[in-house]
Structures are given as structure tokens and as C-alpha cells.
């Protein structure tokens, strides 16, 4: 199965969200704090052995805490397969590929158990 690709990526600074419209018509809204908590780089994952862990949308249902760490400054593309996110504290090591990003989608359709978190 190949992951759908984003068609449109919007950085919504008012709502502190990254909004991704996918080629298959799906819309994902990711709160910044949850995205940062889900950063897949070795440093944030807690070591090389934890890289490649599955996406966990539960991070998006925790309380937001504004601050440089959870402020998304810039969204960049890595080739045509992933995003890099640059945060207010300068961190930019995470590579969010499309499959990972889609797997993080916290909407009720993708993550039905959200109400029981």
C-alpha cells in the first residue's frame, strides 16, 4: 500500500495547527504540541533504537503548552516524500514522511478511539 500524498499544506499560526489536505481528499489537522511530541528523530525518540516507532495520535489530545519548543516556525519539503519541521527552539531534525504523517492523523475517522484517551 502506498501512502497518499499531501496536496496542500497550510501552517495555521492562529490555531497553532498544521493542516494537510491529502490527494485522496482527506484533511488532517495536527496541533503543534502533538507534532513536536511525535518528532521521529533519534534525539526526540530517545535513541536510535526507538526510531521508526509507529505514529501515536494520542499526543494530540494532551494539553497544549505554548512556547518556543511547541511553536512551528517553518515547514519544508524533503524531496517529494517527507516534511521537515523547524521549531521555535531551532530543532529541525525530524523527518515526517507521508506514511508517518498520515498515521498520526488524529481525526475521528483515522483515530476513532480518541474519546477514550
The reply to whether 99 sits near Zn ion by the rule CB under 5 A is: no
Strands (E), 43-112: 72-78, 82-87, 95-97
Stretch that binds Zn ion, among 12-20, 65-73, 74-82, 94-102 (CB under 5 A): 94-102
Residue 94 phi, psi (nearest 5): -75, 135
**Grid cell digits, residue 33:** 504540541
Site for Zn ion, residues 33 to 92, rule: CB under 5 A: 39, 41, 44
Q: What minimum distance in Å lies between the beta carbon of 64 and Zn ion?
A: 18
Stretch that binds Zn ion, among 50-58, 67-75, 79-87, 99-107 (CB under 5 A): 99-107
Instruction: Give how many residues touch Zn ion by CB under 5 A.
Output: 8
Q: Tell me the C-alpha distance between 85 and 72, whole Å.
A: 7
Q: What minimum distance in Å lies between the beta carbon of 47 and Zn ion?
A: 12
SS3 72: strand
CB-CB contact of 37 with 114 (8 Å): no
Q: What minimum distance in Å lies between the beta carbon of 113 and Zn ion?
A: 13
Neighbours of 69 (CB within 10 A): 15
Residues in touch with Zn ion (CB under 5 A):
39, 41, 44, 93-94, 105, 107, 110
Amino acid at each position: 500500500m502506498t501512502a497518499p500524498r499531501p496536496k496542500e499544506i497550510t501552517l495555521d499560526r492562529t490555531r497553532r495547527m498544521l493542516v494537510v489536505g491529502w490527494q485522496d481528499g482527506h484533511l488532517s489537522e495536527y496541533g503543534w504540541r502533538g507534532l513536536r511530541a511525535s518528532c521521529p528523530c533519534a534525539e526526540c525518540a530517545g535513541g536510535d533504537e526507538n526510531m521508526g516507532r509507529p505514529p501515536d495520535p494520542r499526543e494530540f489530545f494532551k494539553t497544549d503548552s505554548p512556547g518556543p519548543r511547541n511553536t512551528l516556525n517553518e515547514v519544508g519539503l524533503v524531496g517529494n516524500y517527507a516534511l521537515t519541521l523547524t521549531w521555535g527552539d531551532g530543532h529541525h531534525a525530524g523527518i515526517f514522511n507521508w506514511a508517518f504523517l498520515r498515521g498520526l492523523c488524529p481525526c475521528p475517522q483515522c483515530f476513532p478511539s480518541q474519546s477514550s484517551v
